[in-house]
Structure 1
Amino acid sequence: MRALRATSNPFADLHHAETPFLLPNAWDHASAMAMAGKGFRAIGTTSLAVAAAVGLPDGASVTGDETLRLALILGSQPFLLSVDAESGFSEDPDEVGEFARQLVAVGAVGINLEDGLGSVDRHAAKIAAVKAAAPGLFVNARTDTYWLGAHGAHGAHGARDVRNGAETLSRLDAYQQAGADGVFVPGLTDAREIAALVARLDVPLNVLYSPTGPTVPQLGDLGVSRISLGSFLYRRAIGAALDALDEIREGREPGGRTPTYEDVQEMGADIADHV
């Protein structure tokens, strides 16, 4: 018997619209408010940016406090917030469930949990613990079969290639059974593999946008429900800053869009009320 999932809510409903649900990922209050100003009803966070901002590694379960602090800032804003929580910042399912409860308390409606190609049973237990502690929280269960490929299955030595549909489906089925509301396969870009996976799943499929992969309309035609941007916008922002530095140093006028000082001040006007 499959675990019960959250009842329908505005965030869950976005995964069942006629067009794919495009989720931009913010890294601070200003970036989130700028994205909300473009009409996005829901915004996610990106763990890479949270970690990079404080000089810590991503995916190492060391930024739980920083992640919760950002959720506190963004959770009361006029958009639906989904939080990238890496693998839950603990290997103890009960501790992951408690972290999820804290996210709900500050206004988050979704959580992204990655398996890092670790134990399937342990990740399923984390999902079940989150659903027990925070039943209304939308759990997006991520598997890294395509993202980490051969490098993550058994470490650098003796690794086996897990970039195949059977391994992916086996993991995702366990996560569905545990109560995941949606599943996420970053690194999956082949159209035929995407369509085949959609046909086999009982919950919405989330993929990570790739500039070299299918477009948003094409992903919609394949049956993808949610398209995340992950750290892409954050990395593009850094790239734009570096491009501007090069242009200024070379005596050229910087190109691209530059919000005014007042624009950015307005984006962060109410931050003092949430810290």
Structure 2
Amino acid sequence: MTAETAEPAATSFAGLHHRPGEPLLLPNAWDHASAAALAARGFSALGTTSLAVAAAVGLPDGEAATREHTLRLALTLGSEPYLLSVDAEDGFSDDPAEVTGLAHQLWAVGAVGINLEDGLGPTALHAAKIAAVKAAVPGLFVNARTDTYWLGDGDETDTLRRLDAYRQAGADGVFVPGLTDPGRIADVVRRVDAPLNVLYSPAGPTVPQLADLGVRRVSLGSLLYRRALGAALDAVADIAAGRVPGGTTPSYDEVCALERNVSARASANSTG
């Protein structure tokens, strides 16, 4: 993504959150191949997943240990033709200025969105990070996550208080992973003036049901990555037992073609 296309792309990404009855279904990739395969299936916007970034290098998730690895993945994916939102945990710092520096770097490599989580830390601190990022990189879509359901007991008053503070700080959207009860989802939609993002749960509402509730963005988080690991374990168990593995298996050539497509685009860009 060039400097000339960054602002229109960011506007386009924001627009995907304002289609009544049609939430943005955002699958989360973990490397170039997974992102390219998802884009080939028609997904024009993708997210990253912090769990996969951490697991790939043997580091803990959610403990601010993978800043450089996250930037490296963003550099790999940000110049591709799809819209990219990066899961940046809590910004990898308690210093709003350092989080702003990260946001600048993500924007520079082509990302149009950032997900920032509060980890149930001080509301004022998270709001300060959001305000600093929006002041410095106004085009970057900030999805402000609260962990009141993910790490806490789902206190509704605290959830709404935090979301209101993040919205007032400039957040473009709000994210409440772990929120699956339809009544509570509808209540948050009604009471918070921002597009609501929820994390898809196989045990929760379907995407059409979430659309009916007014949800504007549905993230898959680490689900696809964990399913991929599960498929690998199932396949090796089948092979060991003398069975033919089931499921979808892209061919060697199909995976190689994902890389050739990138090389072709890079060559075209260099001569265009």
Residues 187-231 of structure 1, C-alpha deviations (whole Å, 9 max, x = no match): 000000000110001110000000000000000000000000000
Residue equivalent to 2:269: none
One-letter amino acid of the counterpart of residue 217, structure 1:
P
In the other structure, the counterpart of 2:4 is none
Between the two proteins, the alignment pairs up a number of residues equal to: 257
| Matched residue type, 1:22 | L
- SS of equivalent to 1:199: helix
- Secondary structure in 1 matching 2:159: helix
Aligned counterparts, 1:110-129, within 5 A: 110-129=113-132
Per the alignment, residue 183 of structure 1 pairs with 174
Q: Which amino acid aligns with 1:186?
A: P
Whether 1:218 aligns to 2:220 is: no
| Distance in 2 separating the partners of 1:66 and 1:139 | 20
Higher helix proportion, which one? 2
Question: What does residue 12 of structure 1 align with?
Answer: 14
The TM-score, its normalising length taken from structure 2, stands at 0.92
After superposition, residues 146-225 of structure 1 pair within 5 angstroms as 146-149=149-152, 161=153, 163-225=154-216
Tell me the TM-score normalized by structure 1: 0.91
Work out which of the residue numbers 40, 60, 67 in structure 2 matches 1:64. Answer: 67
Report the CA distance between 1:246 and its aligned residue.
0.5
Distance in 1 between residues matched to 2:263 and 2:61, nearest whole Å: 25
Residues 109 and 138 in structure 1, CA contact (< 8 A), matched pair in contact too: yes
Q: 1:242 aligns with which of 233, 237, 251?
A: 233
Q: Does 1:86 align with 2:77?
A: no
Residue 38 of structure 1: how far off its partner (Å): 0.7
Residue 143 and residue 271 in structure 1: after superposition, are their counterparts in 2 closer, same or farther (change >3 A)?
A: farther
Aligned to 1:227: 218
Residue 135 (1) aligns with residue 135 (2): no
**Match status 1:46 vs 2:37:** no
Partners of 2:11 and 2:71 in 1: how far apart?
22
| CA distance, structure 2, for counterparts of residue 253 and residue 67 of structure 1 | 36
Question: Where do 5+ consecutive residues of structure 2 fail to align?
Answer: 1-6, 267-272
- Residue 271 of structure 1 deviates from its aligned partner by 7.0
Distance 1:186 1:224 in 2: 12
Which amino acid in structure 1 is aligned with residue 12 of structure 2?
P
| Percent of paired sites with the same residue | 70
1:150-180 per-residue CA deviation (whole Å, 9 max, x = no partner) reads xxxxxxxxxxx4x121110000000001000
- Other-structure match for 2:252: 261
CA shift at 1:268, angstroms?
A: 2.5
**Structure 2 counterpart of 1:55, one-letter code:** G
Q: What secondary structure sits across from 2:53 in the alignment?
A: helix
Deviations 1:44-93 (A, max 9, x none): 00000000000000001010101001001101101000000000011100
SS at match of 1:227: strand
Counterpart CA distance in 1 for 2:133 and 2:32 is 26
* Contact kept in structure 2, 1:185 and 1:206, CA below 8 Å: yes
Deviations 1:111-169 (Å, cap 9, x if unpaired)?
Answer: 000000001000000001111121100000000000012xxxxxxxxxxx4x1211100
Quote how far apart the aligned CAs of 1:17 are: 1.3
Give the letter aligned to residue 19 of structure 2: A
CA contact (8 A) 1:47 1:59 kept: yes
Please say if residues 206 and 226 of structure 1, whose CA atoms lie closer than 8 Å, have aligned partners that are also in contact: yes
Aligned to 1:158: none
